[in-house]
Amino acid sequence: MPEREPPMIQHVKSFDARQRWGKLLSTVFRKEARVVVEKNGLPVAAVVSMDDLARLTTLDQNNAPAPSSPISDAEFEAALAANRSEAETTRALLAPPSPEELARRRAVYDDIQAHRHERVIAPLTSADLVHIARAEEKELLRA
């Protein structure tokens, strides 16, 4: 027996779906169409025949991940130790800085402040950035 082509997909606004619900169900039942219901232009639901639903369910069951096998105590302990190590690393990264680190940061800040008058770096304006981009584009076109 030759397989039938899949029915066409019909897109319907949610308001129209409510107004024509009985007709949509008949269309799906006769396998003339699958209906995609859209709300504000976005697909939010589909109405499919029971045969299509059975096929989808079978696909889901065939593609479902196999239940995980129990892990050994050694594997569990190793995973637990790795998680503890990761938690300690995260905790260390988020901890407030030590007095030594604060002193180092203060020294760097003071050094920057002491030498800031020696060098002035003007911030780039959007016009500067456009000028630079156009110059680079011209340079690329010449090459």
Could you give all domains of the chain from N- to C-terminal order, each with its CATH number? 1-50 (3.40.1620.10)
Express each pLDDT in 53-75 by its tens digit: 898 888 888 887 666 677 888 88
Q: Average model confidence (pLDDT) for the chain? A: 85
Model confidence at 121, pLDDT cuts 50, 70, 90, reads low
What is the C-alpha separation between 42 and 36, in angstroms, rounded? 10
Count of beta carbons in the 10 Å neighbourhood of residue 17: 18
Instruction: Flag whether pLDDT at 3 surpasses 70.
Output: no
- Helix boundaries (H) for the chain: 14-19, 21-29, 50-63, 73-94, 99-115, 126-142
Model confidence at 12, pLDDT cuts 50, 70, 90, reads very high
Instruction: Flag whether pLDDT at 103 surpasses 90.
Output: yes
Instruction: Flag whether pLDDT at 2 surpasses 70.
Output: no
